[in-house]
Amino acid sequence: MSDLLIQNARIVYPASDGFVIDRGWLLARDGFIEAIASGDVPSERLLTVPKGYTSIDARGMTLLPGLLNAHMHLYSLYARGISVGRESRDFLEVLRDLWWRLDRSLLKDACWMSAMFSGMDSLRCGTTSIVDHHASPNFVTGSLSTLSDALVALGVRHVLSYEVTDRNGMQQARDGIEENVRFISEVGQQKGLASGMVGLHASFTVSDVTLQALHELVGSRDVGYHLHVAEGAVDEQDSIGRHGKRVVQRLADAGLLGERSLAVHCIGVDASELGILSRTRTPVVINTMSNMNNGVGLPAMRDMVTSNVKVGIGTDGYSANMFEEFRNTLVSMRHRYAEPSGFWSEIQRSQFEHNADIVSHLTGRTVGRLEKGAVADVILLDYASPTPLTAASAFGHVFFGMSADLVDTVIVDGRIVVRDHHVLGVDRTSLEKESMKIAKAVWKTFDGLT
């Protein structure tokens, strides 16, 4: 953490209760925002800033809060360009043909490198916080610390969990639970960039025996659960057939829902399940680009909103670009409901308010907001505004005018981590060469799996 002063910035907070300062300044102390105001910094304020602080002249660039990705799979990096070798006919085959072969191909070096490259991609797109759901069955113990080491080195705020599942045997399910508990204990006393949750794969790969083991090993710890929920039809079909209840009811009965948990996807949930999510105050995170790519349909966002369910937005590892993701979320919801002017305020709140609420609850800090006491995670974009930019029009400018390629500077915890669109402190050329070697080994293992 450090002391930082940004001057001559157009400061834009594009939330529904946001604001625009045409020319202003932001002061951060020890990684937290201390003051935001218009005009020039008062001389008396400068006297309070310790020597050695970092000063940035924004030269009129636009300052936004750093973007937040509420559901990510960092390890999906090594699917980029891979040849699956078969044609998947449904979602379960997508899992079996690609993702369950890929995660079994990952060892420590691949986990670390996937976090490095996905983290760099995220920062260059203006994303400063990631909530990640990890799986590497042949490297479980220590895997979350390996990811965290890479993300801390880059300066990415993160919340990590390991995917608990029975599909690789009951011992590995237990190992996954223990890895979550170990990492949560490791980072629990720290006040850095890392936080932890407990991750579960879809209900259809998690037995009642594993849920009981989860309760035994997690114990009385106050944790949140990162849950894949009804992404494909198989999840609800299995839960009803084997357990006599729908997925959300099963998770509720197991005590896994609540304000610090995340129900991800929720494509196949019904009205009764939305009622449970609402009553338990469990946020849903939707990932529309990934959903369409997997052919599983689109979430019923309108029903979620009218049921008073808080809806956040993630990428599911499909990309690292939240600008692209929340744009797609809007147009896909308008298409789903045939509402050409709908969902504007809903997407605005989901990206800039609900994602902030979600990450703030998970980290115990105020994240994603431009206010005193919030973490100093902000981005500067080289954006020229051709029309009036006001509090009322701010989200319109963010949606239609701003993009990842305009991100010039990224600041996390009061420290500059991207400048002139380049991630600082890394030798990307060397990393690329090393990653090529790792990718070949991963793909060789992948090709040998069924």
pLDDT at 46: 81
Going by C-alpha positions, the residue among 55, 63, 59, 57 that lies closest to residue 10 is 63
| Residue 133, beta-bridge partner list | 161
Q: Within 10 A of 60 (CB to CB), how many other CB atoms are there?
A: 15
3-state secondary structure 223-278: CCEEEEECCCHHHHHHHHHHHCCCHHHHHHHCCCCCCCCEEEECCCCCHHHHHHHH
CA–CA separation, 437 and 315 (whole Å): 27
Going by C-alpha positions, the residue among 391, 360, 389, 354 that lies closest to residue 373 is 360
Q: List Cα–Cα distances, 160 to 144, 381, 409, in angstroms.
A: 7, 28, 25
Q: Which residues contact 103 (CB under 8 A, 6 or more apart)?
A: 75, 135, 136, 137, 163
Sign of CA pseudo-dihedral 398, 127, 194, 73: positive
**Global pTM exceeds 0.75:** yes
Whether the Cβ atoms of residue 53 and residue 414 lie closer than 8 Å to each other = no
CA–CA separation, 104 and 102 (whole Å): 5
Q: Is 97 exposed, middle or buried (0-12, 13-18, 19+ CB in 10 A)?
A: middle
pLDDT at 98: 97
Between β-strands 378-381 and 62-65, what pairing exists: parallel, antiparallel or unpaired?
antiparallel
CA–CA separation, 373 and 30 (whole Å): 10
CA–CA separation, 189 and 209 (whole Å): 31
The CATH number fitting domain 4-66+369-419, selected from 2.30.40.10, 3.30.70.120, 2.60.40.10, 2.60.120.680: 2.30.40.10
pLDDT at 43: 86
Between β-strands 127-134 and 422-423, what pairing exists: parallel, antiparallel or unpaired?
unpaired
Q: Which residue has the tokens 């948990």?
A: 261
CA 39 from centre of chain: 34
Long-range CB contact pairs, 270-274, < 8 A, 24+: 270/246, 271/303, 271/307, 272/246, 272/248, 273/230, 273/246, 273/247, 273/248, 273/249, 274/303, 274/304, 274/307, 274/309
CA–CA separation, 174 and 294 (whole Å): 29
Q: List Cα–Cα distances, 321 to 125, 330, 349, 412, in angstroms.
A: 6, 15, 18, 17
CA–CA separation, 63 and 61 (whole Å): 7
Kind and range of the H or E element at 19? strand 19-29
Please list the residue range(s) of the chain that carry CATH number 3.20.20.140. Answer: 67-363
pLDDT at 51: 82
Low-confidence ranges of the chain (pLDDT < 50): none
Please list the residue range(s) of the chain that carry CATH number 2.30.40.10. Answer: 4-66+369-419
CATH architecture of the domain with residue range 67-363: Alpha-Beta Barrel (3.20)
**What does the buried/exposed string (b/e) look like for 429-445 if buried means 16 or more CB atoms within 10 Å of the residue's CB?**
eeeeeebeebbeebbeb
pLDDT at 448: 97
Sign of CA pseudo-dihedral 357, 362, 368, 370: positive
CA–CA separation, 233 and 434 (whole Å): 39
Q: Is 343 exposed, middle or buried (0-12, 13-18, 19+ CB in 10 A)?
A: buried
Whether the Cβ atoms of residue 177 and residue 218 lie closer than 8 Å to each other = yes
Q: List Cα–Cα distances, 132 to 69, 199, 216, 314, 397, in angstroms.
A: 9, 9, 24, 10, 29
Q: Which two tokens stand for residue 193?
A: 């960039």
Q: Within 10 A of 81 (CB to CB), how many other CB atoms are there?
A: 7
CA–CA separation, 127 and 120 (whole Å): 10
pLDDT at 189: 66
